[in-house]
Amino acid sequence: MSSTPRLRRLAPVLAALITVTLGACSNTDDATTSAAPAELTGDGPANLWVRAGDEPMDKALVAAWNDANPNRKITMLTVPDAQYVQKYVQAVRSGDAPDLVAVDIANVKSLTSQKLLTDITAQVDALPYKKALAPAAVEVSTVDGKIFALPHQLDVSMLYYNKTLFTKAGLDPAKPPATLDEVVGAARKITALGDGNYGFAFAGNCAGCNAYTLLPYIWASGGDIMNADGTQATLDDPAVAAALNAHKTMWDEKLMPAAVKDDNGATWLTGFQSGKIGMVALGSFAVSVYKAQAGLDFGVTTIPGSSGTSAFLGGDVIGIAKGAKNAKTAWDFIAWSMSEDVQKTVVAKTGQLTVRSDAADNSFTQAEPRLLAANKLIAQAKVPVTAKYNSLFIDPTGPYLQFVRDWVFTGDTAKAISTGKSGFSSRLAS
């Protein structure tokens, strides 16, 4: 599983993207790449690898590019998410690398640590809008001051809340919870309504879901689950306790449905959609899903902690493979995809987040304030820094999910920390 379930890639997005005009696709405004400062050779047809979960938008972007660039067409290969990193590593080492690689933002460290991407620092430094690019995406793709990838398709985690249930429970729907204590307090009032209503829900048996939405509660409480360079777990950080204790309280007080304990992500989205759940943390992809649900009046806010707010930046970054035969075409595609016209006319128009802050506030996001709020969160969103992200946080048998379950459902904090530290150490050393 990726940093967030790829439910956000909906069929309407694909259909709308494919219909984008040739004029918009061929626009080269402030991202024109003919004057890229460092030499990248190979301007023939190129190939792109994408993750299966993100195929729809990538497919549409490739179709649009190919319409505008018939002599430099891009061929796209879709790779299952779980196989992506391993297959890419094998391809590069065998000399059969693709030209372009769109990889889960949380996994880019795995590639840069193995020196499997091309240095594009000079090209990026020449972009007039470099500082407007999603900072966490650029930072996690940077090693020793050299940039190897840029934001491509973005999603950000947020707290969703049901305005109807807030009103019925005597809560102000214009003032969503700003702290963990307020989340718990609101959950109590909503659950007290009875009639099958619950104040809160989370996917208690889904590793990736809880990386994407539970880690921000920890960051927002002033701490982290790993040290700065991602080499050691910090499971006894007070901020970790603040986040998990809040979840444990809501579980113990039955402020969540019993089914959350076994939810592997299958009902993570649909539970809130039923109108019976007061709050749930999800990715911004859910805005498009929920706005299509008749009668569901919902708002979004930043995920709160004990003393602040935070968010997880999900989605993909895109880079040029090490050994790419058509690196110039690859860079031209990357820069074209980030151009202001493509971001506003293609990306924002279809309800996706823009990778540039200077393109976030446009006519399309203004028409959907919840997406505009999500786009603005990109500036503060974070990404865990570790080359072992999948092994630690995505693997359902990994140490992170077991740590969460031991703390929240079993209630044995000491065991959770001890077993968790051992599990993290073992996988970090492997």
Question: What is the C-alpha to C-alpha distance for residues 19 and 38, in angstroms, rounded to an integer?
Answer: 34
pLDDT at 190 (0 to 100): 98
Backbone phi and psi for residue 108, each to the nearest 5 degrees, phi listed first: -65, -30
Spatial CB neighbours of 190, under 8 Å, sequence gap ≥ 6: 162, 165, 166, 168, 169, 171, 197, 198, 199, 255, 278, 279
Distance between CA 359 and CA 357 in Å, rounded? 5
Residues of the chain short of pLDDT 50, as ranges, are: 1-37
Q: How far apart are alpha carbons 199 and 257 in whole angstroms?
A: 9
Q: What's this model's pTM, rounded to 2 decimal places?
A: 0.88
Structure tokens at 203: 């996917």
Residue 169 CA to residue 188 CA, distance in Å, equals: 9
User: Domains of the chain, with CATH numbers?
Assistant: 6-155+314-377 (3.40.190.10), 157-312+389-429 (3.40.190.10)
In this prediction, residue 29 carries a pLDDT of 39
Q: Write the pLDDT tens digit of every residue in 324-364.
A: 999 999 999 999 999 998 888 878 877 789 999 999 888 88
